[in-house]
Amino acid sequence: MLFQKIGDEERFEVSNYVKEYLKLNSQYNIDLYLGCDSHTRTKGTKYVTTIVFHLGDSGCHVIYTMEKVPKIAVEEYWTRLWGETERSVKAALYLREQGIEINTIGLDFNSDKTRKSNKLVKASIGYVESFGFKARIKPDILPAISAADGLAR
């Protein structure tokens, strides 16, 4: 699975990078957050999956992967959102297979029942947690979702 750093076009194998980064920064208490966001534009839909390394009180480091797919129509909103959940779990499972555990998977869904994304909250949280990962939704602070949102726009 290939990821890259913000501002750098070079892509690298994510598990090797994460292991090396954790080793080089072992003096910090690092939490790993993962999330995916998507945006649809005229030419297609873009999914961005991010991993945020939260280095204690020192800040964050972000890496990401981007996938462009054919445009997902507005009326297929649930399909696009479910794709975010699937991509997040896929990345977290891949990292787990390589001996790396994610602290939290952020889901860009809202606990507010008036929001459209709320309809997928139970299904998505259930899916994430069925693999043993912790899921978080809005209004919690979701660093990986914030990063993914900025990169997907």
DSSP 120: G
Tokens of 53: 């390394």
Whether the upstream peptide bond of residue 70 has omega within 30° of 0, thus cis, is: no
Q: Which domain holds residue 127?
A: 2-152
What are the angstrom distances between the C-alpha of 58 and each of 19, 20, 105, 128? Answer: 19, 18, 21, 29
Strands 60-69, 2-5: parallel, antiparallel or unpaired by DSSP? antiparallel
Count how many domains the chain has: 1
Which one, of 93, 45, 99, lies nearest residue 69 by Cα?
45
What is the pLDDT of the chain when averaged over all its residues? 92
The per-residue pLDDT for range 6-60, each reduced to its tens digit, is 999 999 999 999 999 999 999 999 999 999 999 999 899 999 999 999 998 888 9
* pTM for this entry: 0.91
Mean pLDDT, residues 66-72: 95
The per-residue pLDDT for range 133-152, each reduced to its tens digit, is 999 988 777 788 888 888 88
CATH number of the domain where residue 143 is located: 3.30.420
